[in-house]
Amino acid sequence: MHCTLCGLPNPKSPLREAGHEFCCHGCREVYRCFGEAVVTTDGPVAVAPPPQAREAFLWVEGMHCASCEYLIERLAPQTPGILAAASSYASGTIKITYDPALIDEAQLPAAIARAGYRARLHDEAAPEHDERPELLRLLTAGCLASPVMMLTLLFVYPVHGGFVQPEDYAAVSWMAFTATPLALFAFTTLLVFYVGWPILRGAWTALRVGVPNMDLLLALSILAAYAYSTVQLFRDPLDLYFEVASTLVAVVTIGRFLERGARLKATRELTGILRAWSDRACVLREGRYLVCGLGELAPGDRVFVRPGEAIPVDGEIVAGQGAIDESLMTGEAFPASRSAGERVMGGSILLEGNLEIEVGERVESRMANLSHLLWNMQSASGGMQGRVDRLARAFVPVVMMLAALVGLGFLVAGASPEKALLASLATLIVSCPCTFGLAIPLTAATAVGTALRRGIIVSSADLFEKSPRIDIVVLDKTGTLSSGEMAVVEVIGPPGTAARAAAVERHSAHPVAKAIAGLDAARTASEVELHPGRGVVARVGADRVAVGSRTLFATLGWEIPADLAARVADRRDGDSVVSWVGREGRAEGAIVTRDRARPEWIDVVTTLRRHCRVVLLTGAEHSNGYAEHVDEVHAGVPPEAKAAVIRRLKMQGRVAMIGDGSNDAPALAEADLGIAFGAPTQLAAEAADMVIPGDRLERVLDAFALVGAAQRRIRQNLAWALSYNVIAVPLAMTGFLSPLVAAVAMSASSLLVVANSTRALLPETKVGAGDTASGQTETVAEVRRSPQP
């Protein structure tokens, strides 16, 4: 059994409280303090929001640890109209679900300000003066903390260390006993109450709502050292610890500034996507252009987009031409030129020109879906991240109790009040729950950014907690190894066969018909009869022409000559599709089409086979041309049976499934790692752990390498966070660590985790369209050899 609070294994005789089991007194005391809310692992029972509910993303400044997330999520719903809030410390964002009938979107930042944080809507530009107070505090911290430290080294430390006696300062008594203490008091007062104001404000908010956080630990340490030194100022002017308070404020302020910059860099892709996502559209209604929400759009509406604006929804261009930046959606670095008749993706940015776009049969925005997909991935607190967040929240009250016990223990042991105070301060200061809170989400943010730059979308919250070791890779054929687009292989028959067939097939939307229709554009057809799934019959000139399957010709009663059938049989293979072409009751030719294979698929599969077992799983009856390049083939498998095949393969090892269609969705969900590739359907994308849009199959190799690298980075961070606290806290409790050293160590620990999390996970190079998979051998080998966590 495991502890209800932190998830660690329980001892043989766990502590029990209200039906819960805890591994230690600290966890039980935290539960007694906060009740059921702090031990709920799955969150409250999900309640469907009302139909009118909307979502808004806000940027939040001032979050410093996982407790800040918890604080915001508890306070925000207390505002009438706010239904739920979910915050992400790593990305500095919060998602709010609200009722627009009760609260306006513009009022949401003020609701967050109640918790002591600064917030603004995602589509609002940051005011130019936003950075000035922070930079001014940073400059003040450096200018004031330095003289405080210098004066302390000159006059205070020599007395504390026993190197000189107070009477030795007789020649400079005014400087030593009056000017220096007053200067230390003045400088430290400015540092504590101006530079350290954000820390004090965060601590006060935490006390007000009863949620201890890192600011509370820091504020207690700073104010204790400041108050003790202020009292001693009038009793013993050289028994001062102003440098502890001033250094702690300065180090934390500088550390948070650097940490914030690193976090912003790591989450820039998520930031870019949220900025690009717009829930407003300029739509043509009753001859006028009106601005409305995406929820008010209907199929067939026409949306107008100007240069510099984001395209709000997926649709088809009906008027205009423009250059469109699709990099956030496809990973392509160069703008694409789009004109009337072409489809565009919601979330793309129009760089030049004006476009009028018609909404399709469904009002969908890939950017809206991607925004929510990435948000859910980065803000999820399930599995390992959930346990780490709960541990970080429990850590703060536990450390506060330890600090009190340490001070009491020193006093009982006969130590001086000064020594007891220093030991307590060091214990409070040195603890660093921030390292636990940053270990996973910041690495995940870096991994998401790396993935997006390579055209990969991470959609699973627990992807980086899974084992990177993959034993079996299962590949779908159509749409994965092949492009899913039919191409004409051969035309059999007399001259004019292709032209007549193209004229007829132009009236069908079938993939085979589209391939044939591209053979000739000169002739036209009339009196068209569609036979869905079989073919088309139409009049071309004076002739009645049929193009389609053998079943169509049998239905029409038309003859297929034996010699023609024999010629076609000699030229086709199991993956080919034959469309018979005839006129006036008799077939006179045939057109052979085939699904076009991706040029790089052999290189990719060969690379995978060096380290994994590769299985082809397809619904097609034949797999000629593919079978000899894989280890195992399952052909003719219906969609409902694909998941069963995956379950059987999982008995032999860990399985990755790569597919694109809705028929692959059950198999993608069943696999240990599901990758939706190409132009996946919505169902396939939702079932997969990763989505790789486009036609570059070699990106699959990058996906495997990225998962392995991110998981190793997370394990490094957690190992460091645990090792640091296991070593530093006992040292502080035993008095071997001064508050000054503790402050530097605490900030350095957080910065180390930030630096490690933001290091490049993969070489910063984009995969080019002409690249092959052969250069990726080492990355796949690395994934295959990665140990279990």
Dihedrals φ, ψ of 192, to 5°? -70, -45
- Cα torsion 189, 193, 198, 201 to 10°: value is 130
CA–CA separation, 313 vs 343, rounded Å?
11
Annotate 471-516 with three-state secondary structure: CEEEECHHHHHEEEEEEEEEEECCCCHHHHHHHHHCCCCCHHHHHH
Of 215, 279, 301, 476, the catalytic one is 476
Under 8 Å between Cβ of 63 and 437? no
Find out whether 262 and 755 touch, Cβ atoms under 8 Å: yes
- Runs of H (alpha helix) within 320-439: 327-330, 366-379, 383-412, 417-430, 434-439
Record the tokens describing residue 150, joined without a space: 């210098």
Give the separation between CA 425 and CA 422, rounded to whole angstroms: 5
Nearest to 744 by CA among 255, 259, 138, 258: 255
The CA-CA-CA angle for residues 262, 450, 42, to 5°, reads 80
Verify whether residue 476 is a known catalytic residue: yes
Q: Do 291 and 175 meet the contact criterion of CB atoms below 8 Å apart?
A: no
Q: Residue 731: which residues within 8 A CB-CB, separation 6 or more?
A: 430, 737
- Count of other CB atoms within 10 angstroms of residue 695: 18
The residue type found at 118 is: R
Query: Please, are residues 14 and 21 in contact by the beta-carbon 8 Å criterion?
Result: yes
Nearest to 200 by CA among 175, 180, 221, 183: 221
- Return the closest-CA partner of residue 395 out of 27, 1, 24: 27
Using DSSP's 3-state secondary structure scheme, residue 129 falls into coil
Q: Which residue has the tokens 């009196």?
A: 527
CA dist 76 and 114 (Å) reads 8
Query: Can you tell me the distance from the alpha carbon of 159 to that of 452, in angstroms, rounded to the nearest whole number?
Result: 58
Q: What SS3 state is found at 329?
A: helix
Q: Provide the annotated active-site residues.
A: 476
